[in-house]
Structure 1
Amino acid sequence: MNHFQTGRVSTNKNYFLMFLGRKGDSMIEQEIQGASVAWFKIAELIARREREKALGVCRLLAHSFPDRAYELQLEGDILWALEDTLAKDRYTQAAQLYEHNERWVEAIALYEHITTIYPIDYTALADLLFCYAMGNAYDLFTTLCNTLLHKTQTGMLSDTNYTTIMHQAQEKLQKYPTSQHTAWVNDFILWAATK
């Protein structure tokens, strides 16, 4: 009978450490301490506006997590805090990686962040609609569509830009075999045309 079957899993740290290929608690504690110091160092470097050093520490810290999208997102956060225009590129790259790996929640969160910071990024708005659809977030999808339509009706968004956003989302969705999501965009385009 193994540790999982006996119910002693939560009390047997050594089994998990062995399972994870670790030597012991002290090694994990050192990693946690090192990571904590790195986070504080990044914050300190940002406060002193030392861009290259902050990104260097970020790259070192990135070795502790195998997620390239998260690394790009963190770089974007650092660049955004330093008011660097490259932040948008890093955020977009990270969101595209999340999207590629079908991690819709992370992609949605990042595209929402991008569209909050850069509200006239029409490609990001189209990508956000796409991710809402693929992530089955129908309420968020319709809310954004209604918001865009309202902005069009009040002159805050041109008809051309509205059409561009909707068609970009539609084109991306057509690459996926599930017609349900494409139907959302098609239905909304038809509905919006009647308004």
Structure 2
Amino acid sequence: MERALDPDPRWRVRYQRKKIMQMIRANGKLSKQEQIKLTERELTSNSEILPTSTKKLVHLSHQIVGKTVDEAITQMRFSKKKMAREVKYQLEVARDEAIASRGMGLGAQNGEKLPKRTIQTKDGKRVEVDDPTRLYVDESWVTKGPIRSARTQYHARGRMSIMWRPTTREYHPAQRFGGVWIHLAAY
């Protein structure tokens, strides 16, 4: 079990030494992103291959940013777009994974009341939050995937061109493209 948990102990020691040196250089101060990561819980979820172009999917992606997960699911439920079902499914998967793996969105424990907070959203609006454990979509973005197929389009004078059928795809560390990414956070 020890080998499975720590396959290369020398690498871990070098990594820890590097992090200590970074802390000393920064005089023990944490960056703003590190402070946020310590205080807030978040989850990033991505989709499988979707047979559509990024231009069509990006509008749905922009539509759900800044909304609570329940509002975003409702938006996708009543959307006329074909890919809205896929985005809705991905939102549900992300919500369930956030609750099961990170314990996000479970509400106050032992019946205690949480104080109301006023926060500023990315677009500059002030929002009063009564339940800080409520999940919301912090970011959502779409990236290109591999080409699905190609077909020949014939033109005049014996000329032709190739029409590529696009996709969007999930991110893998070895590849440079992704799909619908949904970043959830708790207020």
Flag the structure with more relative contact order, 1 or 2, with Cα contacts below 8 A and sequence separation at least 6: 2
Q: TM-score range by the shorter chain?
A: under 0.3
Larger strand percent: 2
Q: Which has the higher helix share?
A: 1
